[in-house]
Amino acid sequence: MGSSKTVRKLSPVTQVPADIDIANSVEPLHISEIASDLNLTPNHYDLYGKYKAKVLLSVLDEFKEAQGGYYVVVGGITPTPLGEGKSTTTLMSCMFLQVVTCLRQPSQGPTFGIKGGAAGGGYSQVIPMDEFNLHLTGDIHAITAANNLLAAAVDTRIFHEASQSDKALFNRLCPPNKEGKRSFSNIMFRRLKKLGIDETNPDDLTLEEIKRFSRLDIDPSSITWRRVMDVNDRFLRKITIGQGPEEKGMVRETGFDISVASEIMAVLALTTSLEDMRERLGKMVIGNSKANEPITADDLGVGGALTVLMKDAINPTLMQTLEGTPVLVHAGPFANIAHGNSSIVADKIALKLVGPGGFVVTEAGFGSDIGTEKFMNIKCRYSGLTPQCAVIVATVRALKMHGGGPEVVAGRPLDRAYITENVGLVEAGCVNLARHISNTKAYGVNVVVAINMFATDTEAELNAVKKAALDAGAFDAVICTHHAHGGKGAVDLGVAVQKACESVNQPFKFLYPLEISIKKKIEEIARSYGAAGVEYSGQAEKQIEMYSRQGFSNLPICMAKTQYSFSHNAAAKGAPSGFILPIRDVRASVGAGFIYPLVGTMSTMPGLPTRPCFYDIDLDTKTGRVLVYWVIFDRKYWHRSVFDGTERYVRFDRYRRIRYSIYNTVTGDFREAGWDWINEPL
């Protein structure tokens, strides 16, 4: 279906400008043009300004008979803290193939915190980048509202149950109407069914049934549901609530998570329809009763209201790349405690829109041991979709780190080992790439390795990576320069992906069946990491026993562990083996549909650094244009532009002058290029 009518020609310059400058240099097409090329009419979407549109789920019904295209997932090797360009690779695959790209929506936490935006980079971006990174169409705000409504319902129910008799509680839950007749609201029948109570008239309940129906008897110490907000605020990680004089001493400790860590975000990403989302939201477990029975959102009577708040968020947002190709942006679950993938509905819509021979390229968070594994074993189970190809993004820099190179730290110049030729270090680090390839091939898909090239990479180093990838069983391995050259820098990748999709000749396989125990599923995943065994804490044992007894043992597993190593130890690089994987706790996202073991300490509310990114963000009040100024480097404020290892910096001083400098990645020195005045930001 999709066409290439909208694809615009870019004219990349040798010295790649800053991301915001590239983004602002291109006038986006009206989103209706992008939609039209996908054979979407105005009845299929709702406009959100000129450059964004919500694609309605009715598209799935209208195109249900249409044959879908090829399905490609992009993962990576175990990354450095700098990232290896997975998002840019996902976007640049789309700029060659007949494709729709599916990406997660970025959180405002990183945007204003330390990481910055997530629109891609260089000549591989989603535009408008400011709209992509800020608010978008309000999905995360809807998640925030829904999450906090449920949190308020939990504490309110505990408060009212503590101060009322069973009869008084029941009378308020089912008040008589003007004629003196009582009735259950529709959502109450869900709780009645759960309790095995068949009566439909409140007046027919026995005293025992009234008590069971009315009193949830929530154990405050078991509550796992926390409030959320979409900014980084370390001081809300642990708080005390209920200290007001009217709360009558109902004090308890809780905390805030960042909004994208909410289970509602994971529900949005894994749902398949509005009806399915309603069921998942209602099944979310907030804690247990004092009798150790799970308490759900529907028990609290709030599942329907949550769905109302989320009814627009379920529709994915259509945007475009710099080259005018379509992107569906939807959901943004954590890749640690959740599954780290964009939504099922976005992928399904995209597959119908590209049609036979087209491609849907969807990104999985972090390395393939986290994002791709969860894509295969969680997302594919619920979607019923199976990919034909998996792309693994690798860099010489990351492989040198895995081969024993010095520590890589964000904001610190790279050690000389990373910017001078060292084939031996690259070859030693390729054990990491080889394990990612073998693990991914086990699902029955062809694997293509995308080698993101930097200017300091040598031909011998790149050839070493290609050879190692092919020796490990990759279908192909290609060098990519899309950050600097746009679509033409990913042509070879596009050809390789197309051939890989057309050549797949084995059935798709999951890593484990759902019917085995929680422990056996955990241990199967641990073996794929290279672990010799698993060690469970007393708390983990207790939780596994409880979830098994409550009937949740048939859910897939979503491991929460560091993204910087196959093991639980972020410092263990390469392909560690023979270690014992420690499981310190096990929790459940029942509505989303997975059990998540905690391998290490996972922060669900990031903190702000000393010098956050919000210093660099402002608004031109005359034009309404979003301005992105500076980032920090060597304790000075610099505007940073990176082109394959050559980094251009601009420093702003209090006299509104700028100093142009070039950072030499080989010598580690700055070359000053003079001062100039500036009246408007670059």
pLDDT given for residue 192 in this prediction: 97
Contacts of 550 (CB under 8 A, 6+ apart): 293, 294
C-beta neighbour count of 190 within 10 angstroms: 19
pLDDT digits (tens, 9 = 90+) for 556-592: 999 999 999 999 999 999 999 999 999 999 999 999 9
pLDDT given for residue 269 in this prediction: 97
pLDDT given for residue 673 in this prediction: 36
Q: Which of the residue ranges 283-292, 411-420, 483-492 has the most confident prediction, judged by mean pLDDT?
A: 283-292
C-beta neighbour count of 36 within 10 angstroms: 16
Least trusted range by pLDDT, from 66-80, 208-222, 353-367, 620-634: 620-634
pLDDT greater than 90 at residue 210 = yes
- Tell me how many helices (H) and strands (E) the chain has: 23, 29
pLDDT greater than 60 at residue 682 = no
CA distance 379 to 358: 21
Q: Which of the residue ranges 238-242, 309-313, 613-617, 644-648 has the most confident prediction, judged by mean pLDDT?
A: 309-313
pLDDT greater than 70 at residue 3 = no
pLDDT digits (tens, 9 = 90+) for 29-65: 999 999 999 999 999 999 999 999 999 999 999 998 8
pLDDT greater than 90 at residue 204 = yes
pLDDT given for residue 485 in this prediction: 67
pLDDT greater than 50 at residue 649 = no
Whole-number average pLDDT of the chain: 86
Least trusted range by pLDDT, from 143-152, 248-257, 455-464, 628-637: 628-637
pLDDT digits (tens, 9 = 90+) for 380-397: 999 999 999 999 999 999
Tokens of residue 169, six digits: 């509680």
Contacts of 657 (CB under 8 A, 6+ apart): 675, 676, 677, 678
Contacts of 506 (CB under 8 A, 6+ apart): 444
Find out whether 553 and 190 touch, Cβ atoms under 8 Å: no
CA distance 432 to 427: 10
Q: Which of the residue ranges 25-34, 304-313, 361-370, 486-495 has the most confident prediction, judged by mean pLDDT?
A: 304-313
pLDDT given for residue 16 in this prediction: 66
pLDDT greater than 50 at residue 505 = yes
pLDDT average, residue stretch 93-116: 76
**At 409, is the pLDDT very low, low, confident or very high (cuts 50, 70, 90)?**
confident
- Give me the percent of the chain exceeding a pLDDT of 70: 85
pLDDT greater than 80 at residue 110 = no
pLDDT digits (tens, 9 = 90+) for 176-199: 988 889 999 999 999 999 999 999
Residue predicted with more confidence, 27 or 465: 465
9 CB burial (10 A radius; 0-12, 13-18, 19+): exposed
pLDDT given for residue 551 in this prediction: 95
pLDDT given for residue 639 in this prediction: 39
pLDDT given for residue 399 in this prediction: 96
Strands 594-598 and 585-589, by their bridges, are antiparallel
pLDDT average, residue stretch 606-625: 75
**At 612, is the pLDDT very low, low, confident or very high (cuts 50, 70, 90)?**
confident
DSSP-derived secondary structure for 459-520: HHHHHHHHHHHHHTT-SEEEEE-HHHHGGGGGHHHHHHHHHHHHH--S----SS-TTS-HHH
Radius of gyration of the chain (CA): 26
Q: What Cα–Cα distance (Å) separates residue 413 from each residue in 82, 400, 664?
A: 11, 15, 10
pLDDT digits (tens, 9 = 90+) for 219-267: 999 999 999 999 988 899 999 999 988 887 889 999 999 999 999 999 9
Helices (H), 30-187: 31-37, 58-62, 86-94, 108-112, 129-133, 139-162, 166-173
**At 13, is the pLDDT very low, low, confident or very high (cuts 50, 70, 90)?**
low
Q: Which helix (H) or strand (E) holds 626?
A: strand 626-628
**Residue 125: half-sphere exposure toward Cβ, Cα within 13 Å:** 27
Give the domains, in start order, of the chain with CATH numbers.
16-137+312-502 (3.40.50.300), 140-302 (3.30.1510.10), 518-598 (3.10.410.10)
pLDDT greater than 90 at residue 552 = yes
Backbone angles phi, psi at 310, to 5 degrees: -100, 5
The answer to whether the bond into 245 is cis (omega within 30° of 0) is no
**At 6, is the pLDDT very low, low, confident or very high (cuts 50, 70, 90)?**
low
pLDDT given for residue 655 in this prediction: 30
pLDDT given for residue 7 in this prediction: 66
Backbone angles phi, psi at 157, to 5 degrees: -65, -45
Find out whether 227 and 147 touch, Cβ atoms under 8 Å: yes
pLDDT given for residue 477 in this prediction: 97
pLDDT given for residue 117 in this prediction: 64
Quote the pTM value: 0.87
pLDDT digits (tens, 9 = 90+) for 339-370: 999 999 999 999 999 999 999 999 998 889 99
Least trusted range by pLDDT, from 215-229, 487-501, 603-617: 603-617
pLDDT greater than 70 at residue 282 = yes
